[in-house]
Structure formats: structure tokens, C-alpha cells
A and B are shown apart, each in its own frame.
Chain A
Amino acid sequence: MAEDRQSVDSLLPLVYQELRRLAASYLRRERPGYTLQPTALVNEAYLRLLKDRPDRWQNRAHFCAIAAHSMRQILIERARARDAQKRGGERARVTLDEALVAGGDRSIDLVALDEALERLAALDPEQARLVELRFFGGLTVEETAEAMNISPATVKRHWTVARAWLARELEGLAPS
């Protein structure tokens, strides 16, 4: 496990840079007829890096885990930079699609979420990793199950409780 962790750390910068570069090129609309699809982005990064050095990646799930962590780094780094730019220190909140948040909060503070995720990792590292795969990596329940080598039912259980806990953390409503 420790060895696995190390290889992930050494691959992270590679995936990170590739995703950043691809994201920038998608922004410039270099792909004709492109619509925003995270899965396509990950697939393309995977294909490119796989052709480069096939021996580096154990499988697609292995790659997805690294990609998800890279995505988290990119987004949090940029969210922090944007917050720093705003003089008042007022944190930008990201608006969710209203149709999807009936009854819920309409925005997410990504930096706060990142910090909450760190606290969750102290309680249950597996749940934190699962949230990273699903929310930052854009993986479905089935893909997450494959990547973590657990059953989809277990993914759903962990997801439900982790989500409820994170939502509460972000609202600041935890009972003392």
C-alpha cells in the first residue's frame, strides 16, 4: 500500500499538468463541436499519457484516482487564488444548477469543502477518497466501485453518510 501511494505521488504532477493543458485547450474550443464533458477530458488525458508510458498505469481505475486528486488540486488552487484576489477576502461561492438543489443550498465553497474533506479523511480515509473520486473525478458509482475495489452498494452507503456529514460541516451546524 505504501509503495502504491508513492507511485501515485510521482505520477500526480504528470496528470495534473496534462489535465490543466487539456482544460485550457478545451476552453479555447480547439475541439470542433465540443461540449463540456469531464469524462471525455479524463479519457483523453488517459489515452495520451497511456501512449506515452503504458507501464506507468496499472489500469484505468488507477489513473482515475490520480486524475481525481489532480482535479481537486487544480480547482482548490484556483479557488484560493481567486479568493486572494478579491480584496475583502469574501470567498466566492459556486452556484449549483438550481434544478438539482431543490431544498438545498445553492452554492458550494470549494475551499471550505476541501478543508472539510481533510477532516473527514482523519475519521475515515476511504470515505474521503470516495468523495474525491466522485465529486472531483466525476466518476459514477460503478466507476468508483471499480476504482476502489469495493461493491457499488458500499459506495452508495459511504457516499450517503459522507455527503450528509460534509453538507452539515459546510453549513456549520454540527452539534457541539
Chain B
Amino acid sequence: MTPERWKQVNDLFHAALERNAADRDAFLRTAAGGDLSLVREVESLLASHASSGGFLEVPAWGVAPELMFSDEQASLAGRMVGPYRVVNEIGRGGMGVVYAAEDTRLGRRVALKALIPDYSEDPARRERLRREARAAASLTHPSIATIYALEEIDGVLYIVSELVQGHTLRDEVRAGPLRAPQLQATLLEVAEALAAAHAQGIVHRDLKPENIMRAADGRVKVLDFGLARSAAPGAGRTMTQLTQAGGAVGTPGYMAPEQLSGGSIDARTDVFAFGVLAAELATGEHPFGPDPAAMLRRMTELMEGRAVSGSGSWGSRELEQIARRCMRATPSERYSSGAELVTALRQIDNVPAAATPSALSVPLWWWQFHQVAIAVVLAALPAIAWAIRNGIGPPAGSRIFFAALVLATISISARMNLLFTSRVHPASLQRQRSVVFPWVPWIDSVLALLMFGAALSLENQDALAGFTIALSTVIVASVLLIEPATTRAAGIGN
């Protein structure tokens, strides 16, 4: 058929449609002027029209959602990828499929993210990801899932990172708002993670409940730090396109206005997303509305510089004020970084008490119990030194007492500091411990040896000497055995 012929068919088809079914036959034959193939063509189209019902009336993506919305990547579960034994699939994200796997060289469990082919196929994108993975791998913080490596195996890129077992904050918020003590502890941990990253010049860019996991011990870990830029769509070809695409990445409901408009991105962009996260966790609802249409409207308002208002009840006025400041349209009106956020959150009256994890993990309880017990033993030693100073003799006895007092005070202070941290800011315990603790075992050992020596030089006071030796032995046992064991069990060792 030619286009001209098709035009003829069209005209006749519409003319026939306007007539009653009964008159059509006669009309067609007259109008076609003896062109029988034209009549047959139009008749067949009319028949098709009559029986076509809802044909094509539902748009393709409504008809074939599984095609539109399916993921092409096949599962790797049960297979070996280089040195990694893939155990099972644990999630799918914009960058690829995530598996729990075992690194057979090191015998440790890892999260293995198989990146979608876009990354391996585009050299510029791959290079950018490599740079970002290198920067992100330098981040070590108890609330950040550590990146171990970026591997290229058989032409596919994989990000290997710490395996966090638990559930995402999205799962929690689906069940409703978080309760006050846990809410504030959670937000503080996320803010501390941001502060640590911002201090190293790393911006997350895609902070949202899906990217935050709660581990079995109740603490949270932020995933995919610093990798979001590489997830930008449409990256490729020129450098300008790269930066533009890099600027606009994120998840619409959590993107700051400057991120949406492709402007420059810094720590304050994360602060904005933090505000949305805080609002969502506190009220159980997204502050821009429950459906995409409302969300788009609110985002347009934001772009125009209007403030965002959320609905739902917050529970805490201070927290609401903090979140609202985070969500200001103008970056300079927000908190400047994660560190400022941490300060603001800590100023909320009830944080110290409230931040105590509601259900303290059992290993951590043992570690805390050990700290208290050993502090009591340490405190007893200067007291004994005081009691036995006359038995040893004036100059040496006094010196031993003063030395014991100073050493015990330092050690007890350090332990109390850690105990406080573990109750109030559990997220920063590991970091705090690595600062405070390296020299504490030495102090304890010196104190124990000092008292041991003092006890041996005692005459005619066997009971007191025996007691002192026993306590010193407890200290040595603590340094050598108990302390490392409880620390390891609580998972706060280095």
C-alpha cells in the first residue's frame, strides 16, 4: 500500500463510520466506485475496529509493568567471583545488586556489590568511581560501613565493603515513627557519621533511610559514603556533562534545591537530606508529602525559596527546629556541616539520658561492668598504700602512696570517660577508646607491680600484704586477659 492509497482508505473509513451499520455496505460500494480491493480493505478495518475493544487503550507501561520495572541483572548467588564466594543476594540498588559474600583469602564476610554495566563500559565513569572509592575507603568510623576495595573481575566492577547485617531505616519507618530515646540516638549516630566524613571533605550526596542500616547491636551504619556521585545518570562523553550529571544525582525526595538545580554541592547538601531523614523518622511521614505529586509540588516550592513545612507530630520541639533549619532552601541558612549538627543535637536537653540504647547489648554490658569493677579495685590500691605506708618506712612509704594515687586516678579517669561515652555517645566509643586506651594498660601494670613490690617488703602484716598481692594480681589478670576479652566481645576493639 502507498501513502496515497492509505489516505483514500482513511477517508472512506471515517465516512463509513459516520453512517449506520445497515447503510455502510451500500455506501461503500457507491463511494469506492467499483474499486473492490478498496472496499475490502475498509470493510476489514471496520470489522477490526468493531472487535478491537480496549486494544492499546492502556498505555504500554501499564500493560507490561514487569518489562518496564524489571531488573536485568541475573543473580550470582552460589557462584565464585574471583576470590569471593557469593552466598546470597541481600538487596538491589541504583548502582547494582548487593550480595553477602565470603572473601576466601581473608576468610571474612563482606558485602559484594556487582555494578551495572554502565560503570565498566564507560571509562570516564569507571575512573571517577575508582577515585571516589579510594577516598571513601579512607573513612573509618563506627557508623560508616567501611569500603574495602573496588575490584574488576571479568570486566565487571565490584565494590567490596563491610557486611552490615540488619535492616534499613526504611524498614523501621514503614512501621511508624521511631520512639524518642532511639530516635535521638539514631540521629546522633548518623550526624556523627556525617561529621567524620565532612571532616575529610567527603559528601554523601544520597543520604536516605534506604542507605542506613541498623545492625544487630542496635547501632546504625551509613552505607555507600561518597559513591553517590558515580551513580549519576547520563555520565559520559565530555567533562562538563560529567560534572552536570554528577551534580544532579540523588533521590528526589531528599535532594536539596542546589542539588536539584545542578548547583555546587557540599556538606550542607547532606545537612538538607539529614533534615528530611529526621522529619521522616520523627513523624513517620515524608515531610514533602506521601505521594510523588505532592512531593513534586513541595520541591517546586523549595526551588522557589519557600520553606518546607511538614505535617505529623514530632514529639520534640527542639528536634523539629533542628530539622527545619536543615531543610532551609538557602544552604547558608542551614548547619554548615555534620559537626555543627552533632553539637545542635547534643544540646537537646534529654539527649544524654535518652541516648542510652534502650536494650543495651549483653557484651557491652559486660565491658561496662568490667570497667566499673576494675575502677573499684584500682581505687582500693591507694587506700591500701596509705594503710601500709608506716609499715614500709617514712620516705619510701609516702612515695609509694603518692605514686599509687596518681596512677590510679589517671586510670580511673580514663575508664570513667569511656564508660560515659559508651552510655551517652555509643557511636563514638570505638574512636574515643583508640585515643584514650593505648596507655592505660601500662599504667595499670606499673601500679600493680608497684603495689606487688610494696606488699613483699611489708613485715608482720601478712594479711594486708596477701590482700594487696591478690588485688595486684587481679589488675594484671585484667590487663592481660579480662580487658581484651570483654573489649573484643563488645566489638569496640581496634
A binds B: yes
- For chain A, the count of residues having a C-beta within 8 Å of the partner chain is 69
Query: Which residue on B lies nearest to A100, using beta carbons?
Result: B54
Q: List residues of chain B with CB within 8 A of the CB of A38.
A: 59, 61-62
Q: In the bound complex, what is the Cα–Cα distance between A17 and B116 (angstroms)?
A: 13
Return chain A residues, CB-CB under 8 Å to B293. Answer: 40, 43
A17 and B296 contact, CB distance less than 8 A: no
A27 on interface, CB distance cutoff 8 Å? yes
Give the distance in Å from the alpha carbon of A96 to the alpha carbon of B64 in the complex. Answer: 9
B45 within 8 Å of A by Cβ?
A: yes
A150 at the B interface (CB under 8 A) = no
The reply on B13 being an interface residue by CB < 8 A is yes
**Would A104 and B52 count as touching, CB distance under 8 A?**
yes
Query: Given the interface contacts A14-B234, A100-B58, does A51 sit within 8 Å of B52 by beta carbon?
Result: no
Q: Check if A110 sits within 8 Å of B64, measured CB to CB.
A: yes
Chain B window 234-267, contacts with chain A (Cβ cutoff 8 Å), 1 for yes, 0 for no = 1000000000110010011100000011100000
**Closest partner residue, chain A, to B286 (CB atom):** A32
- Inter-chain CA distance A136–B300, complex, in Å, is 27
Q: A17 with B44: in contact, given A124-B6, A167-B55 (CB under 8 Å)?
A: no
Is the CB–CB distance between B252 and A48 below 8 Å? yes
Select which of B54, B251, B299 is within 8 A of A97 by beta carbon: B54
One of B68-76, B332-340, B399-407 contacting the partner: B68-76
Residues of chain B with a CB closer than 8 A to A104's CB: 51-55
Known A161-B13, A164-B52: A136·B60 in contact at CB below 8 Å: yes
Report the count of interface residues on B (CB-CB < 8 A): 67
Query: Given that A47-B299, A51-B261, A163-B52 are contacting pairs, would A74 and B68 also be in contact in the complex, using a CB cutoff of 8 Å?
Result: yes
Binding site of B, secondary structure by majority: helix, strand, loop or mixed? helix
Shortest C-beta distance, B397 to chain A (Å), equals 71
Query: Could you say which residues of chain A place their CB within 8 Å of the CB of B7?
Result: 124
Query: Considering the chains assembled together, what is the distance between the CA atoms of A123 and B13 in angstroms?
Result: 15
Contact pick for B55, options A32, A101, A123, A136, CB 8 Å? A101
A–B pairs, 28, beta carbons within 8 Å: A18-B234, A25-B251, A27-B70, A31-B253, A31-B295, A36-B61, A43-B296, A48-B260, A51-B248, A52-B245, A52-B262, A71-B60, A94-B63, A96-B54, A97-B54, A103-B51, A103-B53, A104-B53, A105-B55, A108-B63, A122-B3, A136-B59, A160-B49, A161-B10, A161-B45, A163-B52, A164-B49, A167-B52
> Contact residues of A with B, CB < 8 Å?
13-14, 17-18, 21, 23-28, 30-34, 36-38, 40-41, 43-44, 47-48, 51-53, 71-72, 74-75, 78-79, 81-82, 94, 96-97, 100-105, 108, 110, 122-124, 131, 134-138, 157, 160-161, 163-168, 171, 173-175
CB-based closest 8 A-B pairs: A104-B53, A100-B54, A138-B59, A164-B49, A168-B48, A27-B69, A123-B6, A167-B52
Q: Taking A43-B293, A44-B296 as given, write out 18 further A-B residue pairs in contact, using a Cβ cutoff of 8 Å, ordered by the A residue number.
A: A13-B234, A17-B234, A24-B71, A24-B94, A26-B69, A30-B210, A30-B251, A47-B296, A51-B260, A51-B262, A78-B68, A81-B72, A100-B53, A103-B51, A104-B51, A104-B52, A108-B63, A122-B3
